[in-house]
Amino acid sequence: MSGTLRRGVMRLQHRIVAAIDATDVSRARFVAKVLAGRVDALKVNWPLVLAAGPDIVREFADSAYVLCDFKIADIPNTNRLIVEQALARGASGIICHAFAGEDSVRACVEAAQGAEVFVVTEMSHPGGQEFTAKHAEEFARLAVRAGAAGIIAPATRPERLRILRGLVGDRLILSPGVGAQGGKPADAIRAGADAVIVGRALYEASDPAVAAKAIAAEIQAR
Ligand code: 3DU
């Protein structure tokens, strides 16, 4: 895969993280290739890892910042083992849940050895309001205390994003829920997100490059 995506610290140029959740592996590879240079990171989640095998992380990581969205939520030792496996395949960032507790999040941060850990706060879908919203502020404070690089917070609720921004200082906020879930990229960035996470609106687009360009333009025009 060619392109200008880099491993290491996420560099926010386009302010877009592409969620490559396509389970048609050749489509996923194609979309990743097309989006290289047009987004700041490729996010890999269980659908693609289960379809393609974990070495898809290594493949993308050759030329991209790969964010492993494994939503890690286990005891500290298991969290550490998962993070080590992701890093061994070249992941630059990982996503964990906060609800398993501070020791579990700290285990991710320690095992990450400088790779970036992002902690889920309030989830973007309607069900995210049932439980995660009630604890999102605690989750955000926990993320800061544990030394996470940032949090995941909902583009579908900019008013909640704004509150969470107030709690995490200059830590990164990556914001899913744009496009298929109804959130607007410019609203999320205005409310304090550093970048939006976009899946279906990119990988299902007839031309993912054009779709990414439109999102970037919307962000720039905010
Ligand atoms: O809805 P989309 O197709 O744009 O995909 C959003 C991606 O972000 C997808 O991988 C999903 O698992 C992830 N995500 C959320 O959508 C909401 C969250 O609160 C956390 C992660």
Ligand 1 binding pocket mutation candidate from 43, 124, 129, 164 (most atoms within 8 A of CB): 124
Percent of the chain at pLDDT > 90 equals: 93
pLDDT digits (tens, 9 = 90+) for 39-63: 999 999 999 999 999 999 999 999 8
Confirm or reject: Cβ of 123 under 6 Å from ligand 1. Answer: yes
pLDDT at 134 over 90: yes
pLDDT at 6 over 60: no
Distance 176 CA to ligand 1 centre (A): 5
More confident: 114 or 94 = 94
- How far is the C-alpha of 13 from the C-alpha of 216, rounded, in Å? 10
Instruction: Summarize the confidence of residues 142-164 as an average pLDDT.
Output: 98
Instruction: Summarize the confidence of residues 66-93 as an average pLDDT.
Output: 97
pLDDT confidence of residue 200: 98
Residue 206 contacts by C-beta under 8 Å, 6 or more apart in sequence? none
Instruction: Summarize the confidence of residues 22-32 as an average pLDDT.
Output: 98
Assign 4 a pLDDT band (cuts: 50, 70, 90). very low
pLDDT confidence of residue 169: 96
Instruction: Summarize the confidence of residues 126-142 as an average pLDDT.
Output: 98
Confirm or reject: Cβ of 19 under 6 Å from ligand 1. Answer: yes
pLDDT at 147 over 50: yes
- How far is the C-alpha of 18 from the C-alpha of 199, rounded, in Å? 6
pLDDT at 212 over 70: yes
Percent of the chain at pLDDT > 70 equals: 96
pLDDT at 86 over 80: yes
pLDDT at 3 over 70: no
pLDDT at 155 over 60: yes
pLDDT confidence of residue 1: 45
